[in-house]
Structure 1
Amino acid sequence: MKAKNIFKTSLLTLAFGLLTVGCSDDFYDVNDNPNDPSISTPYQTLPAAQEYFSSLNGTTMTYMGNMFVYNWSKPSNWSANQDYFRYNITNSFNTNIFEGSYVNILKNLTYIENYEDETGAVDYSAYDVIAATMKGFQYQLLVDIYGDIPYSEANKRADNPTPAYDEAAVIYKDVIDKLTAAAQLVNNLPGTAENPGDQDIIFGGDMEKWGAFANTVKLRMLVRLSNTGQDAYIKEEITKIAQNGLGYIQEDVASNPGYSSAMEEQQSPFYGYFFKIDDSEEDRMDFTVASDYTIDYLSSTNDPRLEYLYSEAANGGYAGSHQAVDLPGSGFTSNDLSKVGPGLLKKSDQDQIIMSYAEGLLIQAEAVVRGYMSGDAQALYEEAITSHFVYLGVEDPEVTAEVYYTQTLGNVGWAASTNKIEAIITQKWIALNGIASIESWIDLTRTGYPANLPLPEDAQAAGKTRPVRLLIPNSEQGRNSENAPSQTSDDAFNSDPFWR
């Protein structure tokens, strides 16, 4: 999606203003919208919810995913990220994923869904489609990451400040139903429905694109059920997607309310995570470097994306480090190692990717290979790779991608790959590097691919395996102790998601 050139000042104020809103004690309360909820309308609330949605998924969640699937590491001259390399997954680890999802995303989307225009003059059906799709996306991630979570009783304001926890599998089915209904509503919007236009910082009010996005999120969830013995259900639900006629995403799903370098909080979230407004490096840019495994893998498969996913080291060449708290000083400083690359960190006003076109295509390819839907899996696979080459800015991307994916290498060339699912998931791991690597971690838990990813030295020495979930935060344990599950650190490694 191309960034728009003109944006209303009020839109920018609303969207970026939400980033300064902190968590409150009324965790599940749809509390004050960035302006005033008693008078705020969906028109005002939507861009704020979308901006936080884009920021949380594009920064904290992507960063964590890249660490868990061994894309990124640290240099010897920094002591950062020790919890990642020791796998210290506690009730205080990355709590803003849980808290931010409920406080700043789901509460605002629920406000939109529940809003009633007292005059009856405005039909907000289109906003309902958008809210349902975004909630589906975020609830899917929360279930995949935490398991059972508050759902049916959540977001009810003061009417229920201590909501019950619903079973993960039950939530999945209900979210799938709501995504089905959202896509169907796109085809049945009344002519009087108000279109959000530029207040929708993702699709600019293009409702058919929202329907395709809802379909794609739904397909991702259905494919995730591949190990649960529910093939008949999966096929039935995919048939419903085909029947609504809206298809799947045809471009990167991305937000852009007018990102710029005018102020730090107005930069594109992922870019601003690594650079200041004067383009000088944030500390995170210096202590986040490539892993040796990923550099070696991309090099050994002759993948030109290496030079776009990672930058050349200050001292020359492309190099990474193994994930470890302590590294030797010689050859492992931030000047010796490759940092996050120019294909990912383009400029302060770059679009913030939410779901890439490449991911959507690879989800479809997996569904075809598993027999859930008809289609040309090889064509989808190769188009996905090409799409990623285009996104990164690889020179002459179509030709260069074809040279790459026609190699006789397993998990690269389609014909050379005896295990098609492994090839698809491995290519998704590459395509989501720095974009949505949280999905790569979830796929790794589900499929075991990419195979042979190393473990951090410190975690391995402590006898730990890779985590399969996060733990419910201490803040939630305190305020909702009657319902929040009692967990220990072992649950992060041994309590499998329901779909595994």
Structure 2
Amino acid sequence: MKPFIYKSFVLVAVLLTLTACEKPFDELETDPNRATSATAALVFRGVLNDVYGVTGSPWSAEQRWNQFYASNYNYYATNEYSWTTTGLNFFTLKNVLKMEEEAKKQTGTDANVYAALGKFFRAYFFENMTKRVGDIPMTEALKGLESTKPKYDSQKAVYVQVLKWLDDANADLAALIAKNDRALAGDIYLGNDLKKWQKVVNTFKLRVLVSLSKKEGDTDLNIKTRFAEVLANPTKFPVMESMSDNLQYIHNTFNKYPRNPSNFGFNATRENMAKTYVDLLVEREDPRVFVVAEPAEAKLKAGLKATDYGAYVGASSGEDLADMSTKALAGEYSFQSRKRYYSNDVGESVFIIGYPELMFTIAEGINRGWAPGSAEDFYRKGITASMNFYGITDAAALDKYLTGPKVKYAGNTAAGLEQILTQKYIAFFQNSGLEAWYNNRRTGIPTFLTGVGTGNSGRIPKRWLYPNTERVNNSDNYKAAVQSQFSGSDTVNETMWLIK
């Protein structure tokens, strides 16, 4: 009996194996424990994290390139603009497509909140890419196997499309708000508030328009008319009205602010304040310097007080790093305020798109003659909002500062424009990523300091190189784009269309 039982068992096993083999291969390779789809809200949250990721965190390399602070310790970082290739955001944009796809599955329509915000994200990420390198693939991008070697669109064409996406996003959000649509979920920034998102869209649009100031005569972009239209019709184009509308990132005890008690010993004295930034504050007797920086020890030993503006000294970003280190150790330079930046894990909120920037952007547009209004009013609002962020709220102190010889608005003149741009730079301290650098690239204000410490033969770069993946996987189109823009030279010192 035993041999018979064994043979029967083998026969059953073989039959089961053959039955299993009849299943389709794609069914066999599917992992039943792995998710094959995600809700639109879940994908949305990942995209939101990437929005902050491309901005750049406070006390990062971006903030050294903005010349807000400097490294004096070679082991951790230098102050060189040693730029090479940059990453692009096509992976995140694929997630934007996935978010829209899942939202359509859930709602059965393209007219949904995630599709509306998807247009804003397209504008945000494509604009981020093009201002870093120049021409980029856009029209033929994100099509998968249909277009594995996408042609490059001109930078101008990208900006034309970015502005269209922003207008479409604004219109779509307005329609959803009118219907009281409450479908948005997973929002880590604005509490799923579509009205606040609409303000972000239009505030970002003004940032884009002012970044195109060198192209104000281009009839395809129509910058002046678009700018004036936003200011003239706040019902159709609402913008941020206060600091409560900021698109900002707030750290917590799990995702700590970059400067916190746990890394105090690593960088509190291995970084000092930069001269470009500190000198602007000291020259204007700006009380923000008392909040963000510490007085130089050598100045205190010489008899100055912590309340003396002359006690605050920044190092030139162009200084030889060994010399800077020696002077920092000797107490000749101001460090970042250890009380403010190392007292807890949460730190301060980090603007991605903020209200103070908007005020200076509007002031700049009016100063340039793009729209009617009082540039001085917006200029003063921008300064006041930034001061308030640092806890400086005394009305008398603010008025004294606003009427000071270097701060009192000089009118809609070149001098007035320089004042606006200078205060905008000051307000960008440790927030908004590289916007301070982009504004400097566009306007030359303030003057960035260079030398052996900044490298690149004493030059501030103008762009990044295209990623190596483009050189390898999309070689012909990459070469054509570099040739048409830069006569075949893909270097950091080439001048892109945006700033010509």
With normalisation by structure 2, the TM-score equals: 0.78
1:370 is aligned to 2:368: yes
Q: For residues 116 and 326 of structure 1, what CA distance do their matches in structure 2 show?
A: 52
Match of 2:224 in 1: 235
Q: Residue 465 of structure 2 contacts residue 490 of structure 2 at CA under 8 Å; is this kept in 1?
A: no
Match of 2:117 among 126, 130, 134: 130
Q: For residues 227 and 384 of structure 1, what CA distance do their matches in structure 2 show?
A: 23
Match of 2:93 in 1: 106
Matches within 5 A, 1:412-451: 412-415=407-410, 419-450=415-446
1:274 is aligned to 2:259: yes
Q: For residues 336 and 90 of structure 2, what CA distance do their matches in structure 1 show?
A: 30
From the CA coordinates, give the structure whose radius of gyration is larger. 2
Shift of 1:194: 4.3
Match of 1:333 in 2: 329
Instruction: Say how many residue pairs are matched.
Output: 439
Q: For residues 441 and 435 of structure 2, what CA distance do their matches in structure 1 show?
A: 10
Seen in structure 2, the aligned counterparts of structure 1 residues 218 and 408 have a Cα distance that, compared at 3 Å, is same
Shift of 1:346: 7.1
Q: For residues 421 and 385 of structure 1, what CA distance do their matches in structure 2 show?
A: 14
SS of corresponding position for 2:116: helix
Specify the code of the residue in structure 1 equivalent to 2:381.
Answer: E
Match of 2:252 in 1: 260
Q: For residues 77 and 330 of structure 2, what CA distance do their matches in structure 1 show?
A: 14
1:162 is aligned to 2:149: yes
SS of corresponding position for 2:213: coil
Match of 2:46 in 1: 48
Match of 1:456 among 451, 454, 465: 451
* Higher share in helix: 2
Q: Residue 57 of structure 2 contacts residue 430 of structure 2 at CA under 8 Å; is this kept in 1?
A: no
Match of 1:196 in 2: 184
Seen in structure 2, the aligned counterparts of structure 1 residues 397 and 156 have a Cα distance that, compared at 3 Å, is farther
Shift of 1:160: 3.2
SS of corresponding position for 1:332: helix
RMSD between aligned alpha carbons?
3.1
Seen in structure 2, the aligned counterparts of structure 1 residues 364 and 334 have a Cα distance that, compared at 3 Å, is farther
Match of 2:468 among 471, 474, 478: 474
Shift of 1:345: 6.9
Seen in structure 2, the aligned counterparts of structure 1 residues 454 and 239 have a Cα distance that, compared at 3 Å, is closer
Q: Residue 254 of structure 1 contacts residue 351 of structure 1 at CA under 8 Å; is this kept in 2?
A: no
Q: For residues 176 and 346 of structure 1, what CA distance do their matches in structure 2 show?
A: 42
Deviation per residue, 1:99-148 (Å, 9 max, x gap): 4x332x32322322344534646776222222222332232222222111
Q: For residues 41 and 211 of structure 1, what CA distance do their matches in structure 2 show?
A: 23
Identity among equivalent positions (%) equals: 22
1:70 is aligned to 2:64: no
SS of corresponding position for 1:428: helix
Seen in structure 2, the aligned counterparts of structure 1 residues 335 and 135 have a Cα distance that, compared at 3 Å, is farther
Seen in structure 2, the aligned counterparts of structure 1 residues 421 and 64 have a Cα distance that, compared at 3 Å, is farther
Deviation per residue, 1:413-439 (Å, 9 max, x gap): 213886221111111110102112511
Q: Residue 183 of structure 1 contacts residue 211 of structure 1 at CA under 8 Å; is this kept in 2?
A: yes
Match of 1:354 in 2: 352
Specify the code of the residue in structure 2 equivalent to 1:377.
Answer: A
Q: Residue 468 of structure 1 contacts residue 494 of structure 1 at CA under 8 Å; is this kept in 2?
A: yes
Q: Residue 65 of structure 1 contacts residue 440 of structure 1 at CA under 8 Å; is this kept in 2?
A: no
Q: Residue 452 of structure 2 contacts residue 458 of structure 2 at CA under 8 Å; is this kept in 1?
A: no
Q: For residues 352 and 230 of structure 1, what CA distance do their matches in structure 2 show?
A: 34
Q: For residues 389 and 308 of structure 1, what CA distance do their matches in structure 2 show?
A: 10
Seen in structure 2, the aligned counterparts of structure 1 residues 117 and 218 have a Cα distance that, compared at 3 Å, is closer
Q: Residue 153 of structure 1 contacts residue 164 of structure 1 at CA under 8 Å; is this kept in 2?
A: yes
Match of 1:309 in 2: 292
Deviates more, 1:216-225 or 1:483-492: 483-492
Q: Residue 443 of structure 1 contacts residue 449 of structure 1 at CA under 8 Å; is this kept in 2?
A: yes
Q: Residue 124 of structure 1 contacts residue 194 of structure 1 at CA under 8 Å; is this kept in 2?
A: no
1:153 is aligned to 2:151: no
Seen in structure 2, the aligned counterparts of structure 1 residues 202 and 340 have a Cα distance that, compared at 3 Å, is same
Q: Residue 133 of structure 1 contacts residue 214 of structure 1 at CA under 8 Å; is this kept in 2?
A: yes
Q: For residues 335 and 40 of structure 1, what CA distance do their matches in structure 2 show?
A: 54
Match of 1:177 among 155, 164, 187: 164
Q: Residue 344 of structure 1 contacts residue 392 of structure 1 at CA under 8 Å; is this kept in 2?
A: no
Specify the code of the residue in structure 2 equivalent to 1:331.
Answer: K
Shift of 1:220: 1.6
1:404 is aligned to 2:401: yes
Shift of 1:370: 1.3
Seen in structure 2, the aligned counterparts of structure 1 residues 375 and 231 have a Cα distance that, compared at 3 Å, is farther
Specify the code of the residue in structure 1 equivalent to 2:495.
Answer: S
Seen in structure 2, the aligned counterparts of structure 1 residues 357 and 208 have a Cα distance that, compared at 3 Å, is same
Deviation per residue, 1:302-321 (Å, 9 max, x gap): 01111223244677653332
Gaps of 5+ in 2: 1-32, 301-310
Q: For residues 182 and 391 of structure 1, what CA distance do their matches in structure 2 show?
A: 30
Q: For residues 340 and 364 of structure 2, what CA distance do their matches in structure 1 show?
A: 26
Q: Residue 45 of structure 1 contacts residue 108 of structure 1 at CA under 8 Å; is this kept in 2?
A: yes
Seen in structure 2, the aligned counterparts of structure 1 residues 259 and 227 have a Cα distance that, compared at 3 Å, is closer
With normalisation by structure 1, the TM-score equals: 0.78
Deviation per residue, 1:248-283 (Å, 9 max, x gap): 112342345x7421x3xx22xxx2x333xx544273
1:283 is aligned to 2:274: no
